A and B are shown apart, each in its own frame.
Chain A
Amino acid sequence: MEPHASSFVSKARTAFHSAAAKAERVLTDFKIDLDSDKQFHDDDFGMQRGDESARSENESKFRNELKHIKWRPPGIGTKQDWQDRINNIRKGRKEVEVTDKVGDVNVGSVPFYDENLYILNVKNDLDAKASEAIPTVEGLTAATKHPIPPSSVLKQLAIAIEAGRQTNSMKDFVASSPAREKAGLSISSVKALVLREKEDKLTSEFSSDEKVVYLINSLFDQEGEFLRRKINSDPEETSISSLPRDIHGAPPESLVVKLAEVIGNFKTLRGMSLFWSRVVDELRKHWSEEKHLLGVPPDDIPDLKSCLLYQQFQVINCCISRKRRHIIAIESLDSMVMEANSNTSDSANYMGRIPTSPLLYARLRTGELVLRLGADCPSGDLTLLETGEPAYSPVTQEGPLLTEDLIKETEEFVLRTGSVGAGCSQLLSDMQAFKAANPGCILEDFVRWYSPPDWMESEGSTEDRDSFYGGESMSSRGQLSLRMQKEGNLWRELWETSKSVPAVKQTPLYDEDLAVEGILDAFEDIQPSELYRQLFVSLLGLGFAIAETMLSGDIDTSKLFNDCKEYIVTTSQSDGFHEKVNELVQMYETVEKMLLNPDKALKMMKHMEESTMTTDEPKRRFSTGEPKHRFKRFSHIFGGKDKLLTPVRKDEVNDEEKQIRHSFSSFFDSKSSLFSKKPPKPGNLYPGEQPLSLERLDSYLDKVQFHPI
C-alpha cells in the first residue's frame, strides 16, 4: 500500500499546482473528505511538522480553512461554500465525490485501466442523476393531498436561486455540470470530447424521457386539473388576492405557480434547468399553433403587480388573441371590398341601387358614394361638417403590451432622446383610420371625435347646424380651440400627412410576432437566479394564500400566521431579498407545521418565545428530525453572519439602507422574539449522537461564525 499512497500524494500535489482556483477548492474538499484516511493524513502533516496532538491538528486545519476563505469574495464565496455543503449533505453526494476524485487522481498513473474506470464512474453518476432527478406526475398529484406544497419544494428553489447567482444565462447553466468540471481537470482532451458527447446525448434523452413528456403534457393540459388544490376563497376573497400581488408573485392556480411546484420537485439543478428548456420549447409550440396557455388570462394586458414571468405569459396569450382577431378583420375587410367591387361592375344598376348592409357608404358633396372602410359604429350623433353624413368611430389599432421591463426601457429611451414618437405614431394611425371610415371628413371632424374639448360650438340656431349644402361658412357652426389653431400645430401637420388607410391595413404599431419572439428568447437566456426567484416567490404566495383561509378561524394560529405573513411581505419588497431566502423558507416551514400539527407548532413557538433553548432541545430533535433541523441551524448561522458583517458596512450605509434597517428594527421590536432568535452558542452543540463527520462540520461552521473575516 505504501507505493500507492505515495503516488496518490504526488498526483494530488500536481493537481493543486496546475490550477490555483480549482486547487483551492479541491484542497478544501480533500482535507475534509480524506481526513479519515490515516495514511495520507499522517504523511501530509508529518512532512510539515511531524506528529502533533489531535487538538493541535484540528486547530491547524482550521487555520488553513480560514486562509482559503480569505481568498474568496467575502460574502458570496463563503455563502456559496456553505450552500455546497448543504447540497452535499442533503443529497448524500460525499461518497460519490470521493469515488470520482480517486478516479481522477489515478488517471495518469495507469492510463488504460483508469480511463475506462473514470468514464464508467462518470456514466454511472450521470445515469443515476438522470433517473432520480425527474419527478413523476403521479408523485406530484399525490402531493396535492397536502394542504400546501411541501416545504422541500420551496427549499429546492431556494438552493437553485443561490446556485444560479453565479451564472448569467440559463444556457450556461444547462451546459455546465460536475462532469464537465472534472473534464477540465483531466489531461486528455479525448475524455473531454467523450464527455461532451455524453452531455448532448443526455440532454436529448431528457427531453424524450417518458416522465418528462408526461409532465409537460400534464402541465399544459387544457383541462387544467393538474396540481389543482382546494382554495376556500369565498369567505375572504379580498384578503386572499392581495398577498401574491404584495410580494410580486403570481395568482394561485396560475401556470407560473404550477411550474414552480413542478420544477421545485426536481432533485438536481441540472434537471431543473433542462426542464425549463423543455417548457420553453412547449411555449414556442403553443405560439406557433396559436394555442392559449392555460392558467393565464387569454386577453388581459400585463398585470404589473405580478411577477415578470406571469406578465410575459399574459403577453403571449394576448398576442395569440390579437392575431386571431387580426386575421378575422382582414378577411372581413377583403370580402367587403370584393363585394363592393362586384356591385360597382354592374354599372347599369349602380345609380338606382340603394346601399345595402353590411356595406356602409358615405356620400360626398359631389354626390359620389364612397365605401367606408374599417367603420366601427356611429359616433354618437356627430355628423361630418362638410357632407352632413354621420360620423363613424373607426376600428383602431390596439395599444402596445408592455411588461415592466419594457416600460422601463421605453421610459429610459424617451428620457434619453426626447422622442415623442409613440404618441405621434398612434395619433397618425388613428387619423388614417378615421379618414378611411369617414370619406369627406376634415380635421375639425376628427378633433370633434378625438378631443371634444378642442371644439367650440357656436351659438347658432339648430337649423344652421343641421343644414345640408347650405353654402354657409363653416365658422358659423363652431371652430377649433385657440390652442388647436396655433401656427405649426403638430396635429394639423399630421392630419395633412395621413392617408386614408383602415387600421387592419396599416403598419402595426405593435408587432405581436416580434414581441413574443423577444419573450421566448429572453426565456431561453434568462438568468437562472432570476427565474428561480420568481418561481420561489410565486410558490410562497400560493402556500400562504391557502394557509390564510385554513387558519383564519383559530385565534392563536392566525396571530402567529399574520406575523409570518407580514414578515414575508416586508422581506419580499426589500432589496435584500437574496440574503433572506432561507428565512423565508423558515417562515414557510412554520406555516406548514401550523397546518399539519397546529398544537405542537404552537407549543414549539411558545417555547421559542420563552428563549428556553435547553428545554426545547429534545422536543425539537424528536419532532423535526435531523435534516430539517440541520437546515435551520445553517439559517441561524447565516443570520448571525449578517449581524457580524454589520460593522463593516457602516461606512457604506446610505439613506435607503438606514430606512430599511429602521423598518426591520421596528418590525422586530413589535413582533415576537421568534424572528430575533440568536444562533446557538458553542455550548449548545449536540455531542455524541451525530455522525463523526457532521459533528466536525458543525464545529467548523461555529468557529467560522465567531471569526469575522
Chain B
Amino acid sequence: MDSSSTQEFEYLFKLLMIGDSGVGKSSLLLCFTSDSFEDLSPTIGVDFKVKYLTMEGKKLKLAIWDTAGQERFRTLTSSYYRGAQGIIMAYDVTRRETFTNLSEIWAKEIDLYSTNPECIKMLVGNKVDKEGDRVVTKKEGVDFARECGCLFIECSAKTRVNVQQCFEELVLKILDTPSLLAEGSKGNKKNIFKDKPSQTNATSSCC
C-alpha cells in the first residue's frame, strides 16, 4: 500500500488515462498503485492516485489522472490533458468499439487538448484474461501503435499481467526524453505542486 505520508521525490510526472467507459482504466490504476483488483463503479468526472517509486536511481512521484470515459464528461476531463508527460490510451480487447474509438475519438482529443508536443503515448489493451472473448488481435494493436507513434502493451488488471510493466515502460520513456525530464524536475517553476501534503488515495466524498 502507498504510504500516506509525504515522501521525498526528485521528479514529478503527470500521467493521464483515457479511453471508453468500461475498458478498465480505474482497475488498471488500482492494480498499479495498490496491487489489488476490484470491479470498480464507473468513474465520475476525474479521479487520481499518487504513486512513489524509484527508477534508474531517480526518486519519482507520479500523479496519475483517471478520467471518466462517458461522452458527457469529456468537457470536464479535457482540461486535465494540459501538461501531461504521459498519456495511456486504453481499450478492451473483447469490445472492438473501444479500439475503434481510440482513433476516431481519443486521438483527436489528444490533438485538441494536449499542450505537450513531446508527451509519450502508450496504447494499452486490457482484459486479456478473457482470451475466449477476444475480438481485437495483438497484431491490430501493434499496427495501430506504430501508426500513432506510441508504445504498446497488452495486460489484464484482473490477473495483474503486465500492469506494472505498462506503467514502468511509460515512465522509462519519459525519463529518456530530456524535455519531459526537465519539466518533471523539482526545480522547475512550472511544477504544479512541490512538497505539498496530498492524499495518495482520493476520497470519494463530494457534494
Could you say which of B45, B48, B70, B197 contacts A424, with CB atoms under 8 Å apart?
B45
B27 CB, min distance to chain A CBs, angstroms? 9
Q: Do residues A659 and B22 form an inter-chain contact, with CB atoms below 8 A?
A: no
- Determine, out of B137-145, B155-163, B180-188, the stretch whose residues face the partner at the interface: B180-188
B95 partner residues in chain A, CB cutoff 8 A: 453
Known: A424-B207, A486-B39. A451 touches B70 (CB 8 A): yes
Q: State how many angstroms separate the Cβ of B203 from the closest Cβ of chain A.
A: 5
In the complex, whether A344 has a CB less than 8 A from a CB of chain B is: no
Let me know if B41 and A656 touch, CB within 8 A. no
* A424 near B193: Cβ-Cβ < 8 Å: no
Q: Are A396's CB and B72's CB within 8 A?
A: yes
Please tell me which stretch of B75-83, B102-110, B127-135, B164-172 contacts chain A, meaning at least 4 of its Cβ atoms lie within 8 angstroms of it: B75-83
Partner pick for B22 among A412, A414, A430, A481, CB 8 A cutoff? A481
- Closest A residue to B189 using CB positions: A575
B206 touches A655 (CB 8 A): no
From B21, B76, B182, B188, give the contact of A453 (CB < 8 A). B21
Q: Establish whether residues A304 and B82, one from each chain, have CB atoms under 8 Å apart when the complex forms.
A: yes
Indicate if A404 sits at the interface (CB-CB under 8 A): yes
Closest residue of chain B to A488, judged by CB? B41
Is A484 part of the binding interface, using a Cβ–Cβ cutoff of 8 Å?
A: yes
CA distance A660 to B75 in the complex (A): 34
CB-based contact B48/A484 at 8 Å: no
Supposing A420-B206, A450-B72 touch, asked if A483 and B42 sit within 8 A by C-beta, the answer is: yes
Which of B43, B68, B192 contacts A411, CB < 8 Å?
B192
Determine whether the beta carbon of B82 is less than 8 Å from that of A654.
no
Of A402, A416, A428, A453, chain B has the most CB atoms within 10 Å of the CB of A453
What are the residues of chain B within 8 A of A483 when measuring CB–CB?
22, 39-42
Q: Which residues of B contact A659 (CB under 8 A)?
A: 178-179, 181-182
Chain A residues, CB < 8 A from B46: 414, 420, 422-423
In the complex, whether A612 has a CB less than 8 A from a CB of chain B is: no
Tell me if B40 and A423 are in contact (CB < 8 A): no
In angstroms, how far is the closest chain A Cβ from the Cβ of B10?
Answer: 9
B148 at the interface (CB under 8 A from A): no
- Whether A482 is near chain B, meaning CB under 8 Å from some CB there, is yes
B199 at interface by CB-CB < 8 Å: yes
Q: Which residues of B contact A418 (CB under 8 A)?
A: 198-199, 201-203, 205
C-alpha gap A168/B78 in the complex (Å): 32
Are the C-beta atoms of A412 and B192 separated by less than 8 Å? yes
CA distance A60 to B75 in the complex (A): 67
B63 within 8 A of A: yes
The answer to whether B185 and A484 have CB atoms under 8 Å apart is no
Q: Would you call A407 and B39 a contact (CB within 8 A)? A: no
For A481, what are the chain B residues with a Cβ–Cβ distance below 8 Å? Answer: 22
> In the complex, which residues 406-430 of chain A have their Cβ closer than 8 Å to any Cβ of chain B?
407-408, 410-412, 414-416, 418-428, 430
Find B182's partner among A407, A414, A415, A655 (CB 8 Å cutoff): A655
Interface residues of A in 20-62 (CB under 8 A from B): none
Asked whether, in the complex, the Cβ of B73 is within 8 Å of the Cβ of A454, the reply is no
Interface of B is mostly: loop
The answer on a CB contact under 8 Å between B207 and A453 is no
> A647-680 interface mask toward B, CB cutoff 8 Å, 1 = contact, 0 = none?
0000000111001101000000000000000000
What are the residues of chain B within 8 A of A482 when measuring CB–CB?
39
Residues of A within 8 A of B203 (CB): 418
Which residues from chain B contact A655 at a C-beta distance below 8 Å?
Answer: 178, 181-182, 185, 187
CB of B54 closer than 8 Å to a CB of A: no
Interface bracket on A: 35 or more
Check B21–A411 contact: CB distance below 8 A: no
Among B43, B45, B95, B187, which residue has the most Cβ atoms of chain A within 10 A? B45
Question: What DSSP secondary structure best describes chain A's contact surface?
Answer: helix
**CB pair B73 A304 closer than 8 Å:** no
Q: Which residue of A lies closest to B179 (CB)?
A: A659
Q: Is the CB of A484 within 8 A of B76?
A: no
Chain B residues lying within 8 Å of A416, measured Cβ to Cβ, are: 193, 196-198
Which residues from 28 to 54 on chain B have a C-beta closer than 8 Å to any C-beta of chain A? 39-48
The residue on A at minimum CB distance from B46 is A423
CB neighbours of B196 from chain A (8 A): 415-416
Contacts of A450 in B (CB 8 A): 70, 72
Tell me the B75-130 residues at the A interface (CB within 8 Å).
75-76, 79-80, 82, 95, 113, 115
Chain A residue with minimal CB distance to B199?
A418
Q: Residue B75 contacts which of A305, A399, A491 (CB distance < 8 angstroms)?
A: A399
A490 interface residue, CB < 8 Å from B? Answer: yes
Nearest neighbor of B22 in chain A, beta-carbon distance: A453
Q: Tell me whether A304 and B115 are in contact in the complex, defined as CB-CB below 8 angstroms, given that A421-B206, A453-B21, A483-B42 are known contacts.
A: yes
Q: CB distance B204 to A490 under 8 Å?
A: yes
How far, in Å, is B68 (CB) from chain A's closest CB? 6
- Closest chain A residue to B188, Cβ basis: A656
B154 at interface, CB cutoff 8 A:
no
A473 at the interface (CB under 8 A from B): no
Distance (whole angstroms) from the CB of B182 to the closest CB of chain A: 4
Is A489's beta carbon under 8 Å from chain B?
yes
C-alpha spacing A124/B45, complex, angstroms: 62
Q: With the chains together, A659 CA to B178 CA distance in Å?
A: 6
Contact with B along A291-313 (1 / 0, CB 8 A): 00000000001001100000000
Mind listing 28 A-B residue pairs with CB under 8 Å? Answer: A400-B76, A404-B115, A408-B192, A412-B192, A415-B48, A415-B63, A416-B198, A418-B198, A422-B76, A423-B45, A423-B68, A424-B45, A424-B207, A426-B45, A451-B22, A451-B42, A453-B22, A453-B95, A482-B39, A484-B41, A655-B182, A655-B185, A656-B182, A656-B185, A656-B187, A656-B188, A659-B178, A659-B181
Given contacts A418-B202, A424-B206, A430-B72, 5 further A-B contacts (CB under 8 A): A412-B192, A414-B48, A427-B44, A453-B20, A484-B42
Chain B interfacial positions (CB closer than 8 Å to A): 20-22, 39-48, 63, 68, 70, 72-73, 75-76, 79-80, 82, 95, 113, 115, 178-179, 181-183, 185, 187-189, 192-193, 196-199, 201-207
Closest 3 CB pairs of A and B: A423-B45, A399-B75, A656-B182
